[in-house]
C-alpha cells in the first residue's frame, strides 16, 4: 500500500525500551523511526515514573536527614515547603533528561513521528497525529511502512472499576503532578510505587493510611529486609491495613469516604480522606495497538509473548519492556531493547541474564537481587546465608545508618553467590556489585578477597562474603 514514511525499523513507543532500541538500531545502520504519542521521549520512566519520583524522594530524604542531625548538635528551623517550586524543580530535572534524549535521537537521525499508532497489517502502522502536548489527536493521519518493528508500548496504571472520577483521586502520574498536599491520604496498594509516593507525601506533611490485599507490604525482598524498613517507618503511617480490600469509594464535598473489607479493616463504617492514590498495579498496553491486524499474539492480560531474541510470533516484529511481562522495570526494558535491535540488525544476541535487581527507593532503601531465602526454601534449594549488620560498620555508624544490613545468599554446594539484599541508604547503588558477582559466577572467596574501599557502606558486601567464607570450611 501507499505510505508517507518508509523505514527499516519502526519502534512503537518512546519509553526507555523504545528509545534504547531505536538508538541501538540506528547505531547498527538501520533507518529508524519512533512513533510516540507524547511530545517528549522517555515514556513513563522519565516523564511520570522513575525520574520525577526520585527527584522528589531526594528532597524528602534530605529533609529527613536534617531532622536526625539534631542528635549531632546541628538543628534547623522547621522546613518551609513551597509546593509550586518543588514541582518546578521536578519538572526541570525531567526536562533536562527528555531534552537530552531529543538531542540523541537527532544526532542519530532517528525520526520521531508524534501520534497514536495502530497496526494496519504486518508491514504498516497508521498514526493519528497528536498535537504539541501529545494529548489530543489533530485529525491528521500518516502511514509508516516498515521492514521490521519493535513494539515498546509499555503499560498503564490499573484503575479499580468502582472508584469514581474525581480530581482528588489520582494514580502515580497524578500524584507526581503534586497539585496539593492533602491532610489525610489513602494509598491503595503497598507495592514499591505506592510506598515511594507515600514517602514523598508524608515528608510533605500528609498523614497516610495504606491498604494492601497481601499479608505484607513491599512484596519481593525477604521479610528481614522489609522489617528494617517497617521499623523505621512505623511513624509514617497512621494505619496499615493488610489482607484488606477497598470495596467502595464515595466522592463527597467534605471528602472521599472509603469502605474496607478484610482483616485490617477499621471498625468505622467508612473513613474520610482528602486524597486517594491508586497504586494497585500496572497493566500492559498490548490490547490497545491493533496487534491482531499484524498477526501478533497478545495474551488475555495484554502481554505480548516473546522468545529469547525478543521476537513475537511474527518473526520480523519484536516486543520489549513492560508490554512483554514482569518485572516492569526500566533496566529490564533497556536490556531487552538492545537484544531486539541487535537481533534485528543480524547480530547474535539473546536475553540471557541470571538476575534482574529490584529497588524500593524508600527511606531506607531496600534493594534485592536473585534468590531470596524465602524462594530457596520454597524450592527446596540448599543455601548458605551471610548477613553483615551495619551496626558493625564504621561508616554506617558515622552516617547514622547502623540499622541497615547486607545479606548474601550462596548455593550450599558451589558456594557461588545466587542472591543478595541490602537495606539502608544507597542500597540501590550498591546492589549492582552483587548483580555482577552473580552474573560472573563469583563465590564467597572472590568477593571477600576483593579489596573494597574503607570506610564505605559498600564494603559491607565484602564483609558479608568474608562471613560466608569463614563458614565454608571446604573453600581454600
Ligand atoms: P513505557 O515507559 O511505558 O513507554 C511506552 C511509551 O509508548 C509511552 O511513552 C507511551 O506514550 C507510548 N505509547 C504507547 N502506546 C502507543 C501508541 N499506540 N502509539 C504511540 N505511542 C504509544 N522502573 C525502574 O526501573 N526504576 C524505578 O525507579 C521506577 N520507578 C517508577 C515509578 C513510577 C511512579 C512508575 C509508574 C514506574 C516506575 N518504574 C520504575 C517502571 C518504569 O517506568 C517502566 O518499567 C518503564 O518505563 C517501562 O518502559 P517501556 O519502554 O516498556 O514503556
112 touches 4 (CB < 8 A)? no
Which residue of 13, 56, 137, 287 sits with most ligand 1 atoms within 8 Å of its CB, as the best mutation to test the pocket? Answer: 13
Ligand 1 centroid from CA 156, angstroms: 8
Is any atom of ligand 1 closer than 6 Å to the C-beta of 369?
Answer: no
Atom of ligand 1 nearest to the CA of 155: 3
pLDDT value at residue 336: 98
Residues of the chain with pLDDT under 50: 472-476
Cell matching residue 47: 516523564
- C-alpha 170/C-alpha 178 separation (Å) is 10
Q: Look at residues 280, 267, 151 and name the one whose alpha carbon lies nearest to residue 213.
A: 280
Is any atom of ligand 1 closer than 6 Å to the C-beta of 49?
Answer: yes
Is any atom of ligand 1 closer than 6 Å to the C-beta of 171?
Answer: no
Atom of ligand 1 nearest to the CA of 176: 34
Cell matching residue 277: 492514590
| pLDDT, tens digit, 9 for 90 and up, residues 142-201 | 999 999 999 999 999 999 999 999 999 999 999 999 999 999 999 999 999 999 999 999
- C-alpha 421/C-alpha 366 separation (Å) is 7
Is any atom of ligand 1 closer than 6 Å to the C-beta of 399?
Answer: no
pLDDT value at residue 417: 98
Is any atom of ligand 1 closer than 6 Å to the C-beta of 145?
Answer: no
Q: How far apart, in Å, do the first and last CA atoms of the chain sit? A: 68
Which residue has cell 531493547? 337
Residues 6+ apart with CB under 8 A from 176: 48, 52, 53, 56, 90, 197
Residues 6+ apart with CB under 8 A from 237: 198, 202, 208, 209, 210
pLDDT value at residue 469: 81
pLDDT value at residue 473: 47
pLDDT value at residue 471: 54
- C-alpha 358/C-alpha 398 separation (Å) is 27
Is any atom of ligand 1 closer than 6 Å to the C-beta of 116?
Answer: yes
Is any atom of ligand 1 closer than 6 Å to the C-beta of 148?
Answer: no
Length of the chain (residues):
476
Find the catalytic residue in 331, 452, 454, 469: 454
- C-alpha 116/C-alpha 99 separation (Å) is 21
| β-pair type (244-252, 255-262) | antiparallel
Ligand 1 centroid from CA 367, angstroms: 21
Ligand 1 centroid from CA 323, angstroms: 9
- Kindly report whether the global pTM for this prediction surpasses the value 0.95: yes
For ligand 1, atom 11, which residue shows the shortest CA distance?
37
158 touches 278 (CB < 8 A)? yes
Which residue of 154, 175, 351 sits with most ligand 1 atoms within 8 Å of its CB, as the best mutation to test the pocket? Answer: 154
Atom of ligand 1 nearest to the CA of 43: 9
pLDDT value at residue 134: 65
Cell matching residue 238: 497512621
Which residue of 50, 199, 323 sits with most ligand 1 atoms within 8 Å of its CB, as the best mutation to test the pocket? Answer: 50
For ligand 1, atom 3, which residue shows the shortest CA distance?
154
Is any atom of ligand 1 closer than 6 Å to the C-beta of 16?
Answer: yes
Which residue of 153, 170, 218, 306 sits with most ligand 1 atoms within 8 Å of its CB, as the best mutation to test the pocket? Answer: 153
Is any atom of ligand 1 closer than 6 Å to the C-beta of 286?
Answer: no
Is any atom of ligand 1 closer than 6 Å to the C-beta of 36?
Answer: yes
Is 454 labeled as catalytic in the residue annotation? yes
Atom of ligand 1 nearest to the CA of 134: 11
Cell matching residue 171: 494514580
pLDDT value at residue 474: 45
Is any atom of ligand 1 closer than 6 Å to the C-beta of 182?
Answer: no
Cell matching residue 114: 508524534
| pLDDT, tens digit, 9 for 90 and up, residues 384-409 | 999 999 999 999 999 999 999 999 99
Amino acid at each position: 500500500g501507499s505510505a508517507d514514511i518508509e523505514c527499516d525499523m519502526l519502534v512503537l513507543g518512546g519509553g526507555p525500551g523504545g528509545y534504547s532500541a531505536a538508538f541501538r538500531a540506528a547505531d547498527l545502520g538501520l533507518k529508524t523511526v519512533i512513533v510516540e504519542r507524547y511530545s517528549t521521549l522517555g515514556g513513563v520512566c522519565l516523564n511520570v515514573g522513575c525520574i520525577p519520583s526520585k527527584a522528589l524522594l531526594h528532597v524528602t530524604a534530605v529533609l529527613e536527614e536534617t531532622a536526625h542531625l539534631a542528635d549531632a548538635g546541628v538543628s534547623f528551623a522547621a522546613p518551609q515547603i513551597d509546593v509550586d517550586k518543588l514541582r518546578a524543580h521536578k519538572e526541570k530535572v525531567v526536562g533536562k533528561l527528555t531534552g537530552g534524549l531529543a538531542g540523541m535521537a537527532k544526532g542519530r537521525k532517528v525520526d520521531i513521528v508524534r501520534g497514536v499508532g495502530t497496526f494496519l497489517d504486518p508491514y504498516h502502522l497508521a498514526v493519528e497525529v497528536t498535537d504539541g502536548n501529545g494529548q489530543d489527536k489533530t485529525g491528521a493521519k500518516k502511514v509508516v511502512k516498515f521492514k521490521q518493528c519493535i513494539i515498546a508500548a509499555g503499560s498503564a496504571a490499573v484503575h479499580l472499576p468502582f472508584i469514581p472520577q474525581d480530581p482528588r483521586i489520582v494514580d502515580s502520574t497524578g500524584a507526581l503532578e503534586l497539585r496539593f498536599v492533602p491532610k489525610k491520604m489513602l494509598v491503595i496498594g503497598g507495592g514499591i510505587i505506592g510506598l515511594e509516593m507515600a514517602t514523598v507525601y508524608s515528608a510533605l506533611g500528609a498523614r497516610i493510611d495504606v491498604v494492601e490485599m497481601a499479608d505484607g507490604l513491599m512484596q519481593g525482598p525477604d521479610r528481614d529486609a522489609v522489617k528494617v524498613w517497617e521499623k523505621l517507618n512505623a511513624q509514617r503511617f497512621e494505619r496499615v491495613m493488610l489482607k484488606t480490600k477497598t470495596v467502595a469509594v464515595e466522592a463527597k464535598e467534605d471528602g472521599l469516604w472509603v469502605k474496607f473489607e478484610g482483616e485490617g479493616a477499621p471498625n468505622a463504617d467508612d473513613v474520610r480522606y482528602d486524597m486517594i492514590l491508586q497504586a494497585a498495579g500496572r497493566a500492559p498496553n498490548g490490547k490497545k495497538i491493533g496487534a491482531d491486524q499484524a498477526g501478533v499474539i497478545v495474551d488475555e492480560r495484554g502481554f505480548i509473548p516473546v522468545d529469547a531474541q525478543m521476537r513475537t510470533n511474527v518473526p520480523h516484529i519484536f516486543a520489549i519492556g513492560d508490554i512483554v511481562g514482569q518485572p516492569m522495570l526500566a533496566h529490564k526494558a533497556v536490556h531487552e531493547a538492545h537484544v531486539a535491535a541487535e537481533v534485528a540488525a543480524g547480530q547474535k544476541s539473546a536475553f540471557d541474564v541470571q538476575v534482574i535487581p529490584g529497588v524500593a527507593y524508600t527511606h531506607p532503601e531496600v534493594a534485592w537481587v536473585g534468590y531470596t531465602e524465602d524462594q530457596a526454601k520454597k524450592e527446596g534449594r540448599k543455601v548458605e546465608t551471610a548477613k553483615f549488620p551495619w551496626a558493625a560498620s564504621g561508616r554506617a555508624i558515622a552516617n547514622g545508618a547502623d540499622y541497615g544490613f547486607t545479606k548474601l545468599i550462596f548455593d550450599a554446594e558451589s558456594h557461588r553467590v545466587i542472591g543478595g539484599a541490602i537495606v539502608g541508604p544507597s542500597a540501590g547503588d550498591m546492589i549492582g556489585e552483587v548483580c555482577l558477582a552473580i552474573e560472573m559466577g563469583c563465590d564467597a572467596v572472590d568477593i571477600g578477597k576483593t579489596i573494597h574501599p574503607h570506610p564505605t557502606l559498600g564494603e559491607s558486601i565484602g564483609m558479608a562474603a568474608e562471613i560466608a567464607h569463614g563458614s565454608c570450611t571446604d573453600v581454600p
